[in-house]
A and B are shown apart, each in its own frame.
Chain A
Amino acid sequence: MRDVRAGLIENQIRRLRFDHAEMTQEQLAARVGVTRQTIIAIEQGKYAPSLEVAFKIADAFGVPLEAVFQYHPPKRR
């Protein structure tokens, strides 16, 4: 469910999971309160989560939101 144009929002979830003792997608999903499939979709950039879920993901890693998600606005012509 790509709500934004491809490539506009990047995330570091895969790396953060690795840095947190190889946290599994299942474990992250349980902490955030979503399904594992939703974590997969977010991690792969196929779904842009709500602010609430984005904050919960950041909270699960104990980092600020911008350490998880980075927004790259499209270049203006």
Chain B
Amino acid sequence: MAFREKTAWVTLLTYLGAYGYYFWTVFRAGPDHPFGARLIGVIALLVLIIVVCNIGLALWKPDEARLAADERERLIGLKASAAAFHVASAGAITAAGAVAVGIPAFWVVNGLLAVVALAEILRQGLIVARYRLDA
């Protein structure tokens, strides 16, 4: 498995776990409960897990980690980013519309966060799928 596929798996699974937990707990608690601290905590945890895992992968396979992405890997990343961009931009426009019609901040903030998470999950998912299909 290529180094960049491993890092994509780490990011994908971390996003699924961290945001899955966040949205599950926040939406179960409802809009009346504060969610700012939980949001910051989940994002900090997510970044920490991804950084630690990537450092671990680099230490495990230093030769692979040192190699720059080749043209195929760059193309895989670019195509995945292009698809994720459409999700993110559609979400941003929807959020702008939600603010304009007076939707409560809880739904706008969490909706935007969900779109960001979804876009990244889609990006990493497409990267992993392409690596698997080419394997």
Q: How large is the interface on B (under 10, 10 to 19, 20 to 34, 35 or more residues)?
A: 10 to 19
**Chain B residues within CB distance 8 Å of chain A:** 1-3, 5, 64, 67, 70-73, 75-76, 79, 130-131, 133-135
Chain B residues with Cβ below 8 Å from A47 are: 72, 134
Q: Residue on B with the closest CB to A53?
A: B71
Tell me if B134 and A49 are in contact (CB < 8 A). Answer: no
Q: Are A1 and B70 closer than 8 Å at their CB atoms?
A: no
Q: Is A41 in contact with B134, judged by CB distance below 8 angstroms?
A: yes
A50 x B134 contact (CB < 8 A): no
In the complex, what's the smallest C-beta–C-beta distance from B1 to chain A, in angstroms?
8
Given A1-B76, A1-B130, A35-B2, verify A49-B135 contact (CB < 8 Å): no
CB atoms of B72 and A34 under 8 A apart:
yes
Q: Does A46 contact B (CB under 8 A)?
A: yes
Asked whether any CB of chain B lies closer than 8 Å to the CB of A9, the reply is: no
Q: How far is the CB of B71 from chain A (nearest CB, A)?
A: 5
B72 touching A41, Cβ below 8 Å: yes
- The answer to whether A46 touches B134, judged by C-beta atoms less than 8 angstroms apart, is yes
